[in-house]
Structure 1
Amino acid sequence: MRSAIVVGATGLVGSALVKLLCESEEYIAVTAITRRKLDYEHPKLIVKICSFDQLEEAHIEFADELFCCLGTTIKKAGTREEFEKVDVEYPLRIASLAKKRGIAHAIVISAMSANETSLFYYNRVKGKLEKELIELQLPKLSIVRPSLLVGERSEFRFGEKMGEALLSVLNPLLIGPLKKYRSIQSNQVALAMLAIALYGKKSPVTIYASHELARIHMPEPQEEQPVTREQLFNWDKFKEEDIPPIDEEIVFDQSKLQNIKRLQDRKEE
């Protein structure tokens, strides 16, 4: 049975991911590290409330997977410095602590156009995060790059709502190379992260683009086929023709028995 740590469990993807992990038969324990209380409760779920500025190794216990779903906007953060603290410094510190704890797999949310040389500040920040995560040389790192996330947010973001409305119209028209720009449901990203944890690629570093995330699904459970009486009791192996023939050269040496009998007769005399 597996255990998982989720950081950023109050966000759009993180909250959906926590529910999926708790409902999964593969996981026996789920720890959410968050700055505020969750609305969701489950017997498997342990919630640790703490400031990420004060996060230490003691807060990160051993687990099979670390899911990092942290992310904010410059508007919400207030300044570029605070934005980079949430989107770069915190994930890097958490990943570093996870490595010290021996967590084998870190799965981190980035952004579709992450590139440290991009002309756009947001993409440069995400590119910096990815570069420094790779340089940490974690045992296994999976980076997911979703497009614009669609879902019910706890807070209203005007720009993202406008983007959702626009892409809902454009999505069917985005085909071929443009497919990667389609918006994606937050629940689908969470499902893809769970599937990556259980069935993902084995390479040390893997980057999953948004259109790949959209195609990922959990494998269908295989129905057990009933075992027939013939399969359970394979009488064929008892057929006479299957019994190995006796080697005709192996015969019972009666002369030895006769010698033993003569010796016994002499003793009796």
Structure 2
Amino acid sequence: MASSEGLVKRRRGGGSSSQFSLDGLSKKNSDESLNKSDDEKDEYGKNKLTILEEVLLLGLKDSQGYLSFWNENISYALRGCILIELSLRGRIAIMKEVRKRPLQDRIVEVVNDTPTGEVLLDEALKYMKMEQQSVLTWIDLLCGETWNLMKIGYQLKQVRERIAKGLVDKGVLRTEKKNFVLFDMATHPIADFSVKERLIQRVINVLLGRVAKPDKRTIAMLCSAYAADVLDNALIGLNANQKDAAYQKVDELLQENALWTDKAKSMGTTEVMAAVYSVYTRMESIL
């Protein structure tokens, strides 16, 4: 669950276990959407995962194919990922304003309404064309956290399931049915473990200082995974000292980029991204 008030340190642990090997990194490609621009084809490539997909993949229990039922943070963080992705793809930006308000309270505008080819991103982009709201307000609206019945239509529904189905289409997950006594539920166990292995290795390499200058997409994935309370799943194989170092590093990345310092700007962090990170720092951790 998220809150716009107060800064609460996130707990370090309690994530679901993840079964993987860091050996053998094969790649499975999928067809890319015809709607993407040439620049996006170069940047995202075949089988390139969105930040939403990477965060969900980190949170999935590998063989069971579902997220922890106790994770209240991931839904809110995934909406933040949507704004980050749209910013990275040059679709939205922060409006210029004379009075400088806190980043999360500044208004978002659509600067390019060309479809991305990603259903969730394009649905959110359509809503953002209809009216202008702040970063914090958009995350709330996309989550359905509003008392205004006139705004409830902006809620993005079945986000986790739709992201999982996208990963099925890319060959990363598969679909199964699992019986939970009172109901049957579609689950999505991992089909291609090499994709998650590469993702986990990226996480570890950056957080243990093996990469001198992480790219902006990896920073976004790390900060979002941290906010979504799924980062611990990638650190399962580390010892206590390494875990402490990893969490200290991601804390530093989140705070640096949330403040949108000169260093954050040099890393490629946009104003929209910094605003989302600022919202992340105010999310409540699960006790």
TM-score by length of 1: 0.24
Q: Which has the larger radius of gyration?
A: 1
> What's the TM-score once normalised by structure 2's chain length?
0.23
Answer 1 or 2: which has greater strand percent: 1
Larger RCO (alpha carbons 8 Å, 6+ apart): 2
